[in-house]
Amino acid sequence: MSKIPSPTDVKKRVQDNVIWRSVFRPGSIYRKGYRDTSRDRALAAMNNVLYHLHPVKVKRHGLKLTYTYCLGGTSFFLFILLTVTGIFLMFFYRPTAGAGSEFAFQDMQNLDQTIQFGALVRNMHRWAAHLMVLTTFLHMARVFYHGAYKPPREFNWVVGVILLLLTLLLAFTGYLLPWDQLALWAVAVGTSMMGYTPVFGQQVQFVLLGGVEIGPETLLRWYVLHVLLLPFVLTIFLAVHFWRIRKDGGISGPL
Amino acid sequence: MAEEVEVDQEVYDELIAAGKSERIARAKAKAAAMRKKKAAAGEQMGPREASAPQAPAPKAKAAAGADAAEGGAVATKSRSGDGNGAGNGALTPQERQARVAAALQQKGGGGGPQPGRSTKLGGQDHTHRLLAMVPPTGIQQIRGKQDDKVYTWPHLITAEFVCLMAVTAVTTVFSALVNAPLGDLANANLTPDPSKAPWYFMGLQEMLRYLHPMVAGVTLPTVFLVGLMAFPFMDKNPSVRPENRKTAYTIFTFFLVFWAVLTMAGSFFRGPGFNWVWPWVDGLWFTL
């Protein structure tokens, strides 16, 4: 009769092998175990991928909810939530319009009516998008009122304004994709203004719409902008934004 | 000096029996053997008397010969000696004072290299000896104020996780309750009335009502964006305190309110023909 191994034996066997040790770094709490000491708290931060984002210690006042209102973090998290829900939606959506092939609009109806969790995920994607525009905007206001754009953080403020602009563009390009009356005419109003750009207004509008007016080409173009180009650019600026927060001395303040 | 280090077997066995680890027992036994050896050579190991530095120096040198440990300063040596007896290493203020007094006496008593100088400086030419009495905080220079910091794990990570959960919960619950709008199929020949941009561009559309499209749609947004980016370079005020930033607060708040008013006006107070309506009278023409 073989002896049933104790939990300690199992833990030892699971952790004491070449695979476990290759996954977790030498100082990792998953190798050494964790006791609530200053040393292990530091090691927990250092041997984690989040060490790219967070230092071992942060200023105490930055933890106060009434200082940051968690707005920057919420914006970032909403971006992740939008990526996840967006990937789900991509499985069921074709950016195709035009007589006889109104797939974009049909796919939206399918998402809302027949696909399991389709309506919920689409709702989440839309509401989270609106919320992200709002939180990014409020984050900017918060940073302004705390004077957090002052040296050495001027450049990070500039990056932040670019991120706000990219967020608006992401929201706006996504607005067209359902290809309903609401989408078409909201975008028509927005893009008609671009035609008034001095000197090459017509050319700007033509490039953005993929034609002289909004049509199936615009839908495909904005789809690619929405799911690939803009998130890609936003991610790069986001990386710079986070990197500069740490390089510029962490969170600003206290006032 | 690569000599065989003896181990005091008796002490070693005793410590092992007392449950000490092999490494600690060996180290302590080694130290014990060394103490015995030095005691046999006539070297003084216990706490020194206040007058000690005067007398035993030549004797110790002669006895230990080239022993490296002997090269240490007076203070180091006697401190380790103290460690044997009372509490660890640190000198009591009385001991320290006595030590300094003795050292000064020795120098002033004619042992110094320049007896003439001692009269000029009142017998205190070797002022560095006084460092023994200066508290450490008097030597360290603290430049910046120390930040009040906490560990990222668990403090920040926990807060972020709670925030993340809250955002997920709010978004999920709201999405379960409120459906995203979906109108009829897009039709380029059927213009709805009113046609409205998404709410974040309603400010622009509202301005379009009063200004030429080139100004409202292109020039002003560009000026706003560039101004926003240039703000940190124009604001030379180094203070972050609200009471010192009245101008900056005023300018920013003005634009914030201006923009909010335009957005709300366009979103809630514009109806068919993009004419002014009162939402509580004529209804709401607004879709998220």
- Cα B198 to Cα B202: distance, rounded to the nearest angstrom: 6
**DSSP β-bridge partners for residue B150:** A58
| Interface mutation vs chain A, best among B155, B178, B195, most A CBs within 10 Å | B195
| Residue A57: its H or E element | strand A57-59
**pLDDT recorded at residue B51:** 44
Place of tokens 């603290």: B142
CB B74 within 8 Å of CB B107: no
Q: What is the DSSP track for B149-165?
A: EEEIIIIIHHHHHHHHH
Kindly identify which residue of chain B lies nearest to residue A51, measuring between CA atoms: B152
Does B194 or B47 have the greater pLDDT score? B194
Confidence class for position B66, pLDDT limits 50, 70, 90:
very low
CB A171 within 8 Å of CB B198: yes
Kindly identify which residue of chain B lies nearest to residue A40, measuring between CA atoms: B153
Output helix, strand, coil percentages for chain B, rounded to the nearest 5. Answer: 65, 0, 35
Domain tally for chain A?
A: 2
Shortest Cα distance, chain A CAs vs residue B16, angstroms: 28
Are B204 and A193 an interchain contact pair (Cβ–Cβ within 8 Å)?
Answer: yes
Among B147, B159, B182, select the one facing A180 at the smallest CB separation: B182
Rg of chain A in Å (alpha carbons): 24
| A38 and A163 together in one domain | no
Are A213 and B157 an interchain contact pair (Cβ–Cβ within 8 Å)?
Answer: no
Does B38 or A222 have the greater pLDDT score? A222
A33 φ/ψ angles, rounded to the nearest 5 degrees: 85, 165
| Interface mutation vs chain A, best among B228, B231, B255, most A CBs within 10 Å | B228
pLDDT higher than 50, residue B77: no
Are B240 and A150 an interchain contact pair (Cβ–Cβ within 8 Å)?
Answer: yes
What contacts B182, CB < 8 A, 6 or more positions away?
A: A108, A109, A112, A178, A180, A182
The verdict on residue A59 lying in a domain is no
Shortest Cα distance, chain B CAs vs residue A189, angstroms: 6
Q: What is the DSSP track for B239-275?
A: ---GGG-HHHHHHHHHHHHHHHHHHHHHHHSB-GGG-
A183 CB near a chain B CB, below 8 Å?
yes
Among B148, B228, B239, select the one facing A161 at the smallest CB separation: B228
**Which residues span the domain enclosing A131?**
70-247
pLDDT higher than 90, residue B105: no
How far is C-alpha A42 from the chain's CA centre? 28
**pLDDT recorded at residue B89:** 59
| A74 and A46 together in one domain | no
| A239 and A138 together in one domain | yes
Q: Is B255 helix (H, G, I), strand (E, B) or coil?
A: helix
Confidence class for position B103, pLDDT limits 50, 70, 90:
confident
- Cα A40 to Cα B235: distance, rounded to the nearest angstrom: 43
Place of tokens 């940190």: B232
The CATH label, of 2.40.50.100, 1.10.287.980, 3.20.20.80, 1.10.600.10, for the domain at B193-288 is: 1.10.287.980
Q: Is A68 helix (H, G, I), strand (E, B) or coil?
A: helix
The verdict on residue A255 lying in a domain is no
**pLDDT recorded at residue B60:** 42
What contacts B266, CB < 8 A, 6 or more positions away?
A: B196, B202, B203, B205, B206
- Cα A92 to Cα A90: distance, rounded to the nearest angstrom: 5
In chain B, residues 42-81 whose CB comes closer than 8 Å to chain A = none
Write the ipTM: 0.92
Q: Pairing mode, if any, of strands A57-59 and B149-151?
A: antiparallel
| A42 and A77 together in one domain | no
B234 CB near a chain A CB, below 8 Å?
no
Are B182 and A120 an interchain contact pair (Cβ–Cβ within 8 Å)?
Answer: no
How open is the CA angle A90-A94-A99, to the nearest 5 degrees? 160
| A166 and A223 together in one domain | yes
The verdict on residue A172 lying in a domain is yes
How far is C-alpha A14 from the chain's CA centre? 35
Among A124, A130, A150, select the one facing B232 at the smallest CB separation: A150
**pLDDT tens-place string over residues A161-216:** 999 999 999 999 999 999 999 999 999 988 888 888 888 888 888 998 998 889 99
The verdict on residue A117 lying in a domain is yes
- Cα A175 to Cα B199: distance, rounded to the nearest angstrom: 11
**pLDDT recorded at residue A180:** 94
Average pLDDT over residues A25-48: 90
A4 φ/ψ angles, rounded to the nearest 5 degrees: -75, 125
**DSSP β-bridge partners for residue B149:** A59
Kindly identify which residue of chain A lies nearest to residue B233, measuring between CA atoms: A154
Are A181 and B185 an interchain contact pair (Cβ–Cβ within 8 Å)?
Answer: yes
B160 CB near a chain A CB, below 8 Å?
yes
And the tokens for B217? Answer: 């749609």
The verdict on residue A78 lying in a domain is yes
Which chain B residues touch A54 with a CB distance below 8 Å?
152, 156-157
Handedness of CA A241, A242, A248, A254 (dihedral sign): positive
The verdict on residue A62 lying in a domain is no
The residue count of chain B comes to: 288
Look over chain A and give the mean of its residue pLDDT values, rounded to a whole number: 93
Kindly identify which residue of chain A lies nearest to residue B169, measuring between CA atoms: A124
The verdict on residue A60 lying in a domain is no
| Interface mutation vs chain B, best among A52, A101, A109, A123, most B CBs within 10 Å | A123
| A11 and A89 together in one domain | no
How open is the CA angle B113-B119-B124, to the nearest 5 degrees? 75
HSE, side-chain direction, 13 A CA sphere, residue B280:
0
**pLDDT recorded at residue B37:** 84
CB B206 within 8 Å of CB B216: no
pLDDT higher than 60, residue A217: yes
B184 CB near a chain A CB, below 8 Å?
yes
**pLDDT recorded at residue A101:** 92
Residue A102 sits in a domain whose CATH number is 1.20.810.10
What contacts A171, CB < 8 A, 6 or more positions away?
A: A129, A130, A132, A133, B198, B200
| A45 and A74 together in one domain | no
And the tokens for B216? Answer: 């409202």
**pLDDT recorded at residue B119:** 47
Count of C-beta atoms within a 10 Å radius of residue A244: 17
- Cα A104 to Cα A222: distance, rounded to the nearest angstrom: 13
Are B218 and A145 an interchain contact pair (Cβ–Cβ within 8 Å)?
Answer: no
Strand extents, DSSP E, A172-224? none
B188 CB near a chain A CB, below 8 Å?
yes
The verdict on residue A57 lying in a domain is no
Place of tokens 């370079």: B233
Which chain A residues touch B153 with a CB distance below 8 Å?
41, 44-45, 48
Shortest Cα distance, chain B CAs vs residue A2, angstroms: 35
- pLDDT over 70 for what percent of chain A? 100
CB B115 within 8 Å of CB B66: no
A129 CB near a chain B CB, below 8 Å?
no
**DSSP β-bridge partners for residue B185:** A180
Are A60 and B149 an interchain contact pair (Cβ–Cβ within 8 Å)?
Answer: yes
Kindly identify which residue of chain B lies nearest to residue A63, measuring between CA atoms: B156
Q: Where are the domains of chain B?
A: 41-136, 151-179, 193-288
Rg of chain B in Å (alpha carbons): 42
